[in-house]
Amino acid sequence: MRLFTIPVTVWLWLGLIAWTACGGCEDPASPRLRPDAADAGTDSGADIAGDLNNQNINNQQPAEVAVVELPLVGDAAGALAEYSSLAWFGDTLILVPQFPSRLGDALVALEKSRILAYLDGAPAATLTWARVPFDDGGLSRQIPSFEGFEAIGFSGGTVYMTIEAGSTAGTTCTVVKGTVTTDPGLSITLDPQSLREIPQAVQLDNMGHEALLVLEDRVVTLYEANGANVNPSPVVQTFDLQLSPLEAVPMASLEYRLTDVTTVDASGTFWALNYFYPGEADLLDPAPDPLVVQFGEGPTHAASEVVERLVELAFSPSGVTHTGAAPVQLRLMPGEARNWEGLVRLDDRGFLVVTDKFPTTILAFVPFPAR
């Protein structure tokens, strides 16, 4: 009998110890983040979209989303393209080279149907692009120290663009409008007489108005640097549709660089590209980031100084504010910072983004975060 009694006692103690240790085990019904898509060995749009919880529950590390590259070929994929902005003209995606003259005075066009087909499994050859003849009216030669076209937006058959220039006196920015023709083919012609200077709230080397919103009654230009230490009272500049200046309105503080924005939706919200390259730390002097404090950092962001994310903002006549939504953090590349310069929505699927030329020309799809 004693030989039987001793093992039972031991097993009872072992059971008690195991039960106590499991007191800290995770409840299977508790909220948790799904595994990162890279761990599952897939970068498919559906899997990536599901990986993004878009919240920081119980102080857990937020998920990041991997981009899906859309392979371009020929001149459109070369470093000379150096893209600075994206915008939709109807169902045609317009990619803006910073210096269109490098592509034979042309912008680049890619049809939405081809992009969707590729994302749905069609071969890369589906992504055939076309040239959009571009006449800048001589502005690239007439503006002293011209440094390229930075932003683009459309309202019907009218196009709006910003231009950056630099000299020993500092960076200057202008906004210009033009016309879009579709017969016999798509082309854009700017009107040099419409050129207007954009006031610079602060002067930072090579920082200008890299994004614009075209609304029903006004054009809004957004400055690139809106961090607390370098631009303590940021504003956006506004113009009527003929580019007569209107009053500047406040802009919410946003650390790092703002390089492009989507269009505004029916509720007044839009998304901004928010990027930081550590080599610009002295120039941008980042303050502690409230968005990191509130929402945390994904695994690759926590291990790097680089920031690649999309931030949701809202416009009203009183200014630009944060919506309170978590940023969409892009999974970083090992050892590389991707200088994202262009952003658009892609229906209800997500976003398209494009780099300038660092580390190379990349056009990519970002699945829309689950809400």
Q: What is the pLDDT of residues 172-205, one digit of tens each?
A: 999 999 999 999 999 999 999 999 999 998 999 9
Q: What is the pLDDT of residues 333-352, one digit of tens each?
A: 999 999 999 999 999 999 99
Q: Residue 11 — pLDDT band, cuts 50, 70, 90?
A: very low
- In a domain? residue 32: no
Q: Residue 167 — pLDDT band, cuts 50, 70, 90?
A: confident
Q: What domain count does the chain have? A: 1
What range does the domain containing 254 cover?
Answer: 68-367
- In a domain? residue 51: no
pLDDT of residue 59: 65
Q: Is pLDDT at 143 greater than 90 in this prediction? A: yes
How high is the mean pLDDT of the chain? 87
pTM metric for this prediction: 0.84
CA angle 264, 208, 280 (to 5 degrees): 110
Q: What is the pLDDT of residues 289-323, one digit of tens each?
A: 999 999 999 999 999 999 999 999 999 999 999 99
The Cα 190–Cα 350 span in angstroms is: 31
Peptide bond before residue 123 is cis, with ω within 30 degrees of 0: no
- In a domain? residue 277: yes
The Cα 56–Cα 308 span in angstroms is: 18
What phi, psi does 229 have (nearest 5°)?
-80, -20
pLDDT of residue 168: 73
- In a domain? residue 184: yes
What is the side-by-side strand order in the sheet with 219-223?
A: 209-214, 219-223, 235-239, 249-250
pLDDT of residue 169: 75
Question: Once rounded to an integer, what is the mean pLDDT over residues 248-259?
Answer: 98
What length is written for the chain?
371
- In a domain? residue 20: no
Which is more confident, 367 or 40? Answer: 367
Distances (CA, A) of 62 to 13, 37, 58: 39, 13, 10
Q: Which helix (H) or strand (E) segment is 301 a member of?
A: helix 299-302
Considering all CA atoms of the chain, what is the largest pairwise distance in Å, rounded to the nearest integer? 106
Q: What is the dihedral of CA 324, 217, 248, 144, to 10 degrees?
A: 110
- In a domain? residue 49: no
Domain of residue 359, CATH code: 2.115.10
- In a domain? residue 54: no
- In a domain? residue 63: no
Contacts of residue 344, Cβ cutoff 8 Å, sequence gap at least 6? 86, 87, 88, 93, 262, 263, 351, 352
Place of tokens 């990986």: 51
What phi, psi does 177 have (nearest 5°)?
-120, 170
